[in-house]
Amino acid sequence: MKYGIQGGYHDQHFLIDEELLDRIVDSADLCQQDTVLEIGGGIGNLTERIAKHAGSVIVIELDQRLVDVLHDRFDNCSNVEIIHADVLDIDLPDFNKVVANLPYSISSPITFKLFKKGFELGILMYQYEFAARMIAPAGSSEYSRLSVNAQYFADVSLLMKIPPSAFSPQPQVWSAVVEVQPRPAPYEVTDEDFFLTFTTAVFNQRRKKLKNAIIRSNHLLKVASIDQVVSHLAADMLSRRAEELQPQELADLANHILALKDQI
């Protein structure tokens, strides 16, 4: 049965290139022991391929019209569960792999919600510029808080770029599929939430030297006596910009600020 594609589905663009759909599912190395989460099932092109290889598929879809399409397509498939919900508003079900064409407008909150849940492997599609920031090394033009925070939780690598022509309706941007393999952080942080907030704070002031960036962003950090705390930090570190520091250096700096916060 062919499923028609119409506009108006929460700005979704449906991947229709069969070769790319197969490549995405192949990248997940699925087996019958896998429980796969798919966010934004759309019209089910990816769902259909996942269901052929995985033990079970849990699809979360917000748009009621698409939920109806998915039920019409998969109600006879015993290994497909469809949840009508906003993924940001619900507790995620248990799963070990996630394969999804994520809604680009909420890529960041969805990604970090997934990291908090924990999983073995993710094959995730993003807008290309977002994916480039996820994998960017320190000192590159794309290096950002997203780079630091994503790489804190996982090894991330770019698998493939996808042109607008692979979708219907065609988006105005290129997309990319990223492999995400969660693992323990490669460096120690004293307080994970503070570290993630710290990276957000200093990259919000990325063109300023760290001394000024930290002070100007203290509304996020909420460190009492921030001027005194900063005065105890290494001058050579404070003269650099966030985009020039390795993730390990940013973690060390956040840890040091927390230690000084308790002492001053």
Specify the pairing of strand 14-15 against strand 167-168: antiparallel
- Tell whether the model's pLDDT for residue 34 goes beyond 50: yes
Closest to 11 in 3D by CA, of 107, 99, 92, 89 = 107
189-213: average pLDDT = 94
Residue 131: give the domain boundaries.
14-182
Predicted confidence at residue 206, as pLDDT, reads 83
Q: Quick check: is 123 in a domain?
A: yes
Looking at every residue in the chain, the average pLDDT score rounds to 94
d(CA 214, CA 110): 27
Q: Quick check: is 204 in a domain?
A: yes
147-170: average pLDDT = 97
CA 130, chain centre distance (Å): 9
pLDDT of 235-252, one tens digit each? 999 999 999 999 999 999
187-212: average pLDDT = 94
Same domain, residue pair 173 and 204:
no
Number of domains in the chain: 2
Predicted confidence at residue 207, as pLDDT, reads 85
CA 80, chain centre distance (Å): 24
Whether 109 contacts 134, CB under 8 Å = no
Helices of type H across 103-234: 107-117, 128-135, 145-153, 192-204, 210-216, 218-221, 226-231
Angle of helix 192-204 relative to helix 247-263, nearest 10 degrees, comes to 110
171-193: average pLDDT = 96
CA distances from 11 to 18, 163, 170 (A): 21, 17, 11
Same domain, residue pair 147 and 227:
no
d(CA 177, CA 193): 27
Instruction: Give, as one character, the DSSP assignment of residue 88.
Output: G
- Tell whether the model's pLDDT for residue 31 goes beyond 80: yes
Predicted confidence at residue 8, as pLDDT, reads 44
Q: Residue 205's domain is classified under what CATH number?
A: 1.10.8
Q: Residue 75's domain is classified under what CATH number?
A: 3.40.50.150
CA 211, chain centre distance (Å): 29
Q: Quick check: is 187 in a domain?
A: no
Domain boundary among 153, 182, 211: 182
pLDDT over 70 percentage in the chain: 96
Picking from 8-17, 23-32, 132-141, 173-182, which range would have the lowest pLDDT averaged per residue?
Answer: 8-17
**Tokens found for residue 226:** 């921030």
Predicted confidence at residue 11, as pLDDT, reads 61
Closest to 258 in 3D by CA, of 209, 213, 198, 203 = 198
Helix, strand or coil, per DSSP, at residue 14: strand
Predicted confidence at residue 13, as pLDDT, reads 87
